Structure 1
Amino acid sequence: MTEPAEDIRTEDLLRELAPRVLAAVTRRFGRFDLAEDAVQEALLAAVTGWAADGVPPNPAAWLTTVAVRRMTDMLRSEQARRRREHLDATRSLPESLLGDENTTTADQDDTLVILFLCCHPDVQPASQLTLTLRAVGGLTTAEIARALLVPEATVGQRVSRAKQRISQSGARFRLPEPAERRQRLDVVMQVLYLIFNEGYTASSGTTLQRVELAAEAIRLTRMLREKLPAEPEVGGLLALMLLTHARRHARTGPTGDLIPLAEQDRTRWDRDLIAEGIALLEEVLPRRHPGPYQLQAAIAAVHAEAERFEDTDWAQIVALYDVLVRMSADPMVRLNSAVAVAMHRGPAAGLALLDGLATDPALAGHHRLAAVRAHLLEQSGAVEAARDAYLAAAKLTISAPEQRYLRSRAARLGMREQPQAFE
């Protein structure tokens, strides 16, 4: 059963508007901790109210109005020591944000300010990441938990602690100075990458991709690059997103079913995005400061430059992964490296690497580890074991397209197929 188109559109609209409304409310009140709660309540009100009454003519103004009313209620309930903040809160906002819901929302977009505020140095790195995914990326608690491979309760605790620390720090609503900005950059980039990944392959739901979420991550990364053009890793991150996003039209069939990399129609890949991504790489790589995002972008470029799957230069990809594995502690990098090794040296070599990953707590119980194992077992001729692994992987994912794909692989194991890379 597919989701109604209106529900999908509303969800995407709320995800796009949430950080902008949060920025507007925070800019006015200077209380990020309360503003985030108020905006979350406004979003919940929109989900129920818009379903019954339809999307208002100016949804941003609607959300801001509800958030400000809730903000005022929260400030009124505070002790006398908060009275000054209450008086500030009751002042009217610009007409573009409040009052007439038919007016045009202000053009000012302070999403990048919110992004750096979430990554304040007084906040622990894990909490920085979690808060930004919620406040800027618009991900739910469950989506964040799956993206970070942690329990949902942990996500809630991190969000609460992060907001408390930001409030206590007295941080102002503005971009940090250049030196401090650089300190926060690694977390900012990681957040943007995780937002993009959730858009590229949704961790749950009935659709494989959430294109608007991936596009928002690209938009924010473009903004970041405009602010920090001398940072090669920012360029590498943007190149990686562009080269990966270029495949989006070829990744699903007419009914939304997943199409693996080996079977994709590469004429449907977006050549303009590929050209832009490769041009970015050619600009940043000569600076001789390669980081994880630049290396991943280089791997994506090797795939993009192969006209057919059979033309893929797996030796070059393995070499790039060898460097990347030494540089990154991300277990998913090692898992992807095992796939590349299997394509270059055979499934037995890839399976040997998977054995070393099975004890990694971050991957234990993750569907992708089981799916890759199933794929390599299939290539090695271990039909029964591969079928069991495909079915196990299908049980571990809550993405409907991935479930269908994995179950179809299990059902078709009696057929001989050409080796393919599991995407």
Structure 2
Amino acid sequence: MTVEAERAAERVARQSYGKLVAFLTARSRDLPAAEDALSQALVDALRVWPERGIPDSPEAWLLVAARRNLMQGVRHRSVRENARPTIALAFEEAEARMNEAAAETFPDERLKMLFVCTHPQIDKSIHTPLMLQVVLGIDAKAIAQAFVVSPAAMGQRLVRAKANIRDSGIGFAIPDRRSLPERLSAVLSAIYAAYGLGWDDLDGADGGRSALSNEAVWLCRALLSMLPDEPEVIGLLALMLYCEGRRAARRNAEGDYIALDKQSTDRWNAIMLADADALLRKAGAADRFGPFQCMAAIQSVHAARRLTGLTDWDALVTFYDALLMMQPTIGARVGRAAVLGRAKGPKAGLNCLDAMDAKEVRAYQPYWAVRAHLLTEVADYPAAETAYLSAIGLSDSPAVRSFLMRRLTDLRMRAA
């Protein structure tokens, strides 16, 4: 029973962490305390469930336990007396909801939590990491890796941001129309970052991370239901559906990684891609073109191969040029170099890569993978081998490493 209880606790923590924290924080206005209370509830579950059995609704059990932990914390801390009745009343309401029936009866407050994390009083540089941890339960180590900082530094920044939310009395609500655009951009970036972490988990070794893709799509759909005419929300959903529509084709029957331009379009999800096409057309009708629409347009060009049998590389260069005007990120620049290498020749792509800051690309795996491919195309085999070795060493995915190793083997045979 102990093993089963541990698995049940881990499963509900992965699936419901953000939902539970958001619900608790919405009523206590104390994010650090809500997280501490939920963490203690998980510890309690690991102690109690093996003895008494796994409850019918583990999510509800955790919420009630976390509520009790929070109430104990309120009693032990020195707080304003007039705050106690408000907090007590809110959590009595929460417990009543939990005792009604299923955990699904309590509202999902994660969208509000997303906007709390993007409040102007919170440092912009921590918006996305904060949302990734608080709303989607990603640990600080994984976030630090994604943002290329030390886990200790990221942990400290997250702690400070959560304390700022608590101490500043930030309202737990969707912002008004006047302040929505700037806040919305940060929310969309965080949702897409979460999707990217799930998408990058090609091997499925981390079930929690791979499930992030579905969570990100759900959050975007929920956001779209509130803001049905926002073109960038529509664009982000289209972008993720384009990617999801190709998910099954990323691996062959033997489990090997397959590059996008080599994927069999028969294995793409035609219905999902058609939905993405329709969403992108709807976003375009708003005549407000933003970066997520642009990235969706890039994916639409790749998706069109299922209809035409060809990839319009010149169109991809145009879209990447537009994207770089809006968001000159390292990913966009490497992506442009890759498509330029197909549209104008490998030397043109290499010239783009050569113009990039060496310090910025030193640990960026896609840069070395693209560079290795382009160097192979111009028959600079020694430099290509060095680039392949860098790309292999920087990859976290066994499937991608195996793919690159096969290419490196082919390169060595060609150079022999």
- With the shorter chain as reference, the TM-score category is 0.7 to 0.9
Aligned to 1:168: 167
Give the helix-richer structure, 1 or 2.
Answer: 2
Contact in 1 for aligned 2:67/2:95 (Cα 8 Å): no
Aligned to 1:122: 121
**Please, what TM-score do these two structures have when normalized by structure 1?**
0.86
Superposed CA deviations along residues 348-385 of structure 1, whole A, max 9, x for unmatched, are 11111111224253x33122221221122222222333
1:373 to 371, 374, 377: 371
Q: Give the Cα separation in 2 of the matches to 1:148 and 1:16.
A: 23
Superposed CA deviations along residues 96-148 of structure 1, whole A, max 9, x for unmatched, are 65469x74431521111111111111101112211101011221112212222
Query: Which 4+ residue blocks in structure 1 deviate beyond 4 angstroms?
Result: 4-13, 40-56, 82-91, 95-100, 207-211
Q: Give the Cα separation in 1 of the matches to 2:5 and 2:392.
A: 28
Q: Give the Cα separation in 1 of the matches to 2:87 and 2:202.
A: 38
Moved more, 213-222 or 141-150: 141-150
Contact in 1 for aligned 2:57/2:103 (Cα 8 Å): yes
Alignment of 1:344-363 (within 5 A): 344-361=343-360, 363=361
Aligned to 1:248: 247
In structure 2, do the counterparts of structure 1 residues 41 and 380 end up closer, same or farther at CA, with 3 Å as the change threshold?
Answer: farther
In structure 2, do the counterparts of structure 1 residues 103 and 279 end up closer, same or farther at CA, with 3 Å as the change threshold?
Answer: closer
- Give the count of matched residue pairs: 410
Aligned to 1:280: 279
Superposed CA deviations along residues 215-247 of structure 1, whole A, max 9, x for unmatched, are 111111111112122221111111111111111
**Please, what TM-score do these two structures have when normalized by structure 2?**
0.87
The Cα of 1:334 is off from its aligned counterpart by 0.6
Alignment of 1:183-198 (within 5 A): 183-198=182-197
Contact in 1 for aligned 2:196/2:213 (Cα 8 Å): yes
Alignment of 1:301-320 (within 5 A): 301-307=300-306, 311-320=310-319
Moved more, 108-117 or 150-159: 150-159
The Cα of 1:40 is off from its aligned counterpart by 4.4
The Cα of 1:411 is off from its aligned counterpart by 2.8
In structure 2, do the counterparts of structure 1 residues 356 and 232 end up closer, same or farther at CA, with 3 Å as the change threshold?
Answer: same
Query: Are 1:218 and 2:181 an aligned pair?
Result: no
Contact in 1 for aligned 2:22/2:135 (Cα 8 Å): no
Aligned to 2:92: 92
Contact in 2 for aligned 1:97/1:105 (Cα 8 Å): no
Alignment of 1:226-305 (within 5 A): 226-254=225-253, 256-305=255-304
The Cα of 1:251 is off from its aligned counterpart by 0.7
The Cα of 1:404 is off from its aligned counterpart by 2.6
2:388 to 386, 390, 407: 390
In structure 2, do the counterparts of structure 1 residues 313 and 397 end up closer, same or farther at CA, with 3 Å as the change threshold?
Answer: same
Q: Give the Cα separation in 1 of the matches to 2:411 and 2:47.
A: 45
Q: CA RMSD in A?
A: 3.2
Query: Are 1:400 and 2:401 an aligned pair?
Result: no
In structure 2, do the counterparts of structure 1 residues 115 and 14 end up closer, same or farther at CA, with 3 Å as the change threshold?
Answer: same
Amino acid at match of 2:231: P
Contact in 2 for aligned 1:18/1:138 (Cα 8 Å): yes
Q: Secondary structure at the match of 1:120?
A: coil
Q: Give the Cα separation in 1 of the matches to 2:308 and 2:261.
A: 5
Moved more, 131-140 or 202-211: 202-211
Q: Give the Cα separation in 1 of the matches to 2:402 and 2:56.
A: 38
Q: Secondary structure at the match of 2:274?
A: helix
Aligned to 1:409: 407
Contact in 2 for aligned 1:208/1:258 (Cα 8 Å): no
The Cα of 1:85 is off from its aligned counterpart by 4.6
Q: Give the Cα separation in 2 of the matches to 1:250 and 1:92.
A: 49
Moved more, 244-253 or 12-21: 12-21
Aligned to 1:64: 63
